[in-house]
Chain A
Amino acid sequence: MTYVVIGASASGINGAKTLRELEPDAEIILISKDEYVYSRCILHHYISNKRNIDALNFSEKDYFKKYNIKWMKEIGVDKLKDTENEIELSDGSRVSYDKLLIASGASSFIPPVENLRSANNVVGLRNLEDAQKIKDAAKKVKNVVVLGAGLIGIDAITGLLGYGLNISVVEMNDRILAVQLDKYAANKYEDLFKKNGVNLKLGVRAEKLLVDEANNPKQLLLNTGERIPCEFVVVSAGVRSNTAFLQGSNVEFDKFGLIIDERGQTNIEDVYGAGDVTGRNPIWPTAVKEGIVAASNMVGKKLLMTDFFGSKNTMNFLGLATMSLGNVSVPDESYKEEIETKDGNYKKVIHKDGIIYGAIIQGDLSYAGILTQLIRRKINISAVKKSIFEVDYSDFFSIKENLEYTF
């Protein structure tokens, strides 16, 4: 039995490990464009020199040896021939599989702003190569523009803070991290960024990237007419799933990405998928679980993906941590909003008829995990006689036979 896994990130690494745990004797091959195994979530620590490449590795020590997985690195997949159970690699070779797990992730999307896609020194922050380019440029240039103040953009800024550069961030929304934060929580970070010398341009759009003769960025022109000097641009405008190699195959995918069912299976029996390549719920824990679920089913052990709650996030930078769950503002007047600011902490909970729909906790995140479950499972808290900010597991306390907790 040969199992082939495409991708060496959250889904691929966890999927391959699960395959080995369930199939001690099968052949398992992991193919990745990546040269190293690294966590894409902490690339900014690489940029800031907080970590070296080794320290970015989230897999176990000697992972490939330990789990007897053949790793073909720095190789891409060009084509999938599902009818022949075969993939064509970028080096011309072909690999046959009995079961295939597509965990090829996604790539940065560069929006069609004039010159943005063609100019030099414009990168996303998706891969280690991006991070390396940013790191190298940071030593040479004076001005950097970060396009988009989403999570990736903010990572880029925090990674660059120690280099003494002029950093400007351009964001369409009226605040940074508009998806995860409300105005109050975002403002706290904005103030911290300002204190650190970052120029925030909020509520504006990039119109055009002006380049010099050598096609290097010179200035970014905004819709307001303002021109921001920059020699380097980091784009944080979203990602697109790496499904190009599926063209011409029978595997179904849509504009978001690969389509899988709750067992991680695509429309083709031997082909499975997991993680960001699906374009849905693109967060780390989902990628990990989907990898494990798919691998389980590939081996014939039925396992269903049950956690589809994707709007959950924590962030910790500039000495301030925030957790964001579900709706960060009231969808309409029928929802209630409770806010508490105490001892430098900010707590906001959005609820309706005894069910919590969203929360922002900024500052001290202690024990906040309970909110994730209450929101995800839409657990009714009407019977809880505590302040909504003090809700804890005690009101749901229940022990299973194996002594674990349950709800």
Chain B
Amino acid sequence: MKRIKIDRSKCIGCLTCTTACIVSHDCVDNRSRITLSSKGKYAPIFCRHCDKPECVYTCMTGAMRKNPDTGIVEYDKNQCASCFMCIMACPYGVLKADSENNREIMKCDMCQYTESKSPQCVARCPMHAITLEEV
């Protein structure tokens, strides 16, 4: 599967990835974020589409599923019951609900359903801090 490789030393905190994520999904919330560590270093916090996804294990409606072919952890917002167990389960604190209705989980979908079909954060990052790699 393809996973987004993160090289935090190249990140300049320009938030182009955040912008790209929001724009490509036609919404107001980001599905990934950039924070600063206590030492002042940028930390791109992105969904890893884990091999052992805690969000999938914890989802009690089947809304979170790992696609065995692409490896992408997919989220079905219509099946979701907004119980937020996944938000709690993600060990890296990647997830949150939408800001308007607090209902839909902002889940990285590798831009599968956007026009481009490939991650726009990767396409737009000016420093190549995030790249798509086969793992």
Q: Which residues of A contact B (CB under 8 A)?
A: 10, 39, 41-42, 45, 55-60, 284-285, 288-289, 292, 312-316, 319, 321, 323, 325, 364-373, 383-386, 392-395, 397, 399, 402-405, 407
Apart from A289-B57, A367-B96, list 10 A-B contacts with CB within 8 A: A39-B61, A41-B83, A314-B88, A316-B84, A321-B97, A367-B93, A386-B38, A394-B35, A402-B135, A405-B91
Docked Cα-Cα span, A364 to B5, in Å, equals 29
Supposing A59-B62, A392-B45, A397-B8 touch, asked if A372 and B50 sit within 8 A by C-beta, the answer is: no
Residues of B contacting A402 in the complex (Cβ-Cβ under 8 angstroms): 3, 51, 135
A284 touches B37 (CB 8 A): no
Q: Which chain B residues numbered 53 to 102 have a C-beta less than 8 Å away from chain A? A: 54, 57-62, 65, 79, 81-85, 87-97, 102
B88 touches A323 (CB 8 A): yes
Give me 15 A-to-B residue pairs in the complex whose CB atoms sit less than 8 angstroms apart, sorted by A's number.
A60-B62, A284-B85, A285-B57, A285-B58, A365-B88, A367-B96, A368-B93, A369-B88, A386-B38, A394-B43, A394-B45, A397-B41, A399-B6, A404-B50, A407-B91
Task: Give A123 Cβ to nearest chain B Cβ, in Å.
Answer: 21
Task: Give A349 Cβ to nearest chain B Cβ, in Å.
Answer: 14
Pick from B37, B48, B102: contact of A394, CB below 8 A. B37
B26 beta carbon closer than 8 Å to chain A: no
Docked Cα-Cα span, A321 to B84, in Å, equals 8
B89 touches A285 (CB 8 A): yes
B4 beta carbon closer than 8 Å to chain A: yes
Task: Give A105 Cβ to nearest chain B Cβ, in Å.
Answer: 14
A384 touches B38 (CB 8 A): yes
Task: Give A18 Cβ to nearest chain B Cβ, in Å.
Answer: 12
Q: Nearest residue in B to A63 (C-beta to C-beta)? A: B62
A373 touches B87 (CB 8 A): no
Q: Nearest residue in A to B54 (C-beta to C-beta)? A: A285
B92 touches A405 (CB 8 A): yes
Task: Give A16 Cβ to nearest chain B Cβ, in Å.
Answer: 15
Supposing A316-B82, A366-B87 touch, asked if A385 and B93 sit within 8 A by C-beta, the answer is: no
Residues of B contacting A385 in the complex (Cβ-Cβ under 8 angstroms): 38
Supposing A39-B60, A393-B45, A404-B3 touch, asked if A369 and B92 sit within 8 A by C-beta, the answer is: yes
B133 beta carbon closer than 8 Å to chain A: yes
Docked Cα-Cα span, A319 to B85, in Å, equals 16
A42 touches B54 (CB 8 A): no
Q: Nearest residue in B to A288 (C-beta to C-beta)? A: B57
B36 beta carbon closer than 8 Å to chain A: yes
A285 touches B85 (CB 8 A): yes
B60 touches A284 (CB 8 A): yes
Task: Give A184 Cβ to nearest chain B Cβ, in Å.
Answer: 19
Residues of B contacting A397 in the complex (Cβ-Cβ under 8 angstroms): 8, 37, 41, 43
Docked Cα-Cα span, A57 to B65, in Å, equals 13
Task: Give A179 Cβ to nearest chain B Cβ, in Å.
Answer: 16
Residues of B contacting A407 in the complex (Cβ-Cβ under 8 angstroms): 91
Task: Give A129 Cβ to nearest chain B Cβ, in Å.
Answer: 19
Docked Cα-Cα span, A289 to B55, in Å, equals 12
Supposing A59-B62, A367-B93, A369-B94 touch, asked if A314 and B57 sit within 8 A by C-beta, the answer is: no
Q: Nearest residue in B to A366 (C-beta to C-beta)? A: B96
Docked Cα-Cα span, A385 to B38, in Å, equals 5
Docked Cα-Cα span, A319 to B100, in Å, equals 12
Residues of B contacting A394 in the complex (Cβ-Cβ under 8 angstroms): 35-38, 41-43, 45
Residues of B contacting A60 in the complex (Cβ-Cβ under 8 angstroms): 62, 65
Docked Cα-Cα span, A21 to B4, in Å, equals 26
Residues of A contacting B82 in the complex (Cβ-Cβ under 8 angstroms): 316
Task: Give B117 Cβ to nearest chain A Cβ, in Å.
Answer: 20
A314 touches B84 (CB 8 A): yes
Residues of B contacting A371 in the complex (Cβ-Cβ under 8 angstroms): 93
A392 touches B81 (CB 8 A): no
Task: Give B21 Cβ to nearest chain A Cβ, in Å.
Answer: 15
A404 touches B38 (CB 8 A): no
A369 touches B89 (CB 8 A): yes
B93 touches A370 (CB 8 A): yes
Docked Cα-Cα span, A402 to B52, in Å, equals 12
Pick from A45, A56, A403: contact of B3, CB below 8 A. A403
Task: Give B89 Cβ to nearest chain A Cβ, in Å.
Answer: 6
Task: Give B91 Cβ to nearest chain A Cβ, in Å.
Answer: 4
Docked Cα-Cα span, A314 to B88, in Å, equals 7
Q: Which chain B residues numbered 3 to 22 have a C-beta less than 8 Å away from chain A? A: 3-6, 8
B95 touches A403 (CB 8 A): no
Which of B33, B38, B43, B60 is the most central at the interface, judged by chain A CB atoms within 10 Å of its CB?
B60
Docked Cα-Cα span, A8 to B93, in Å, equals 31
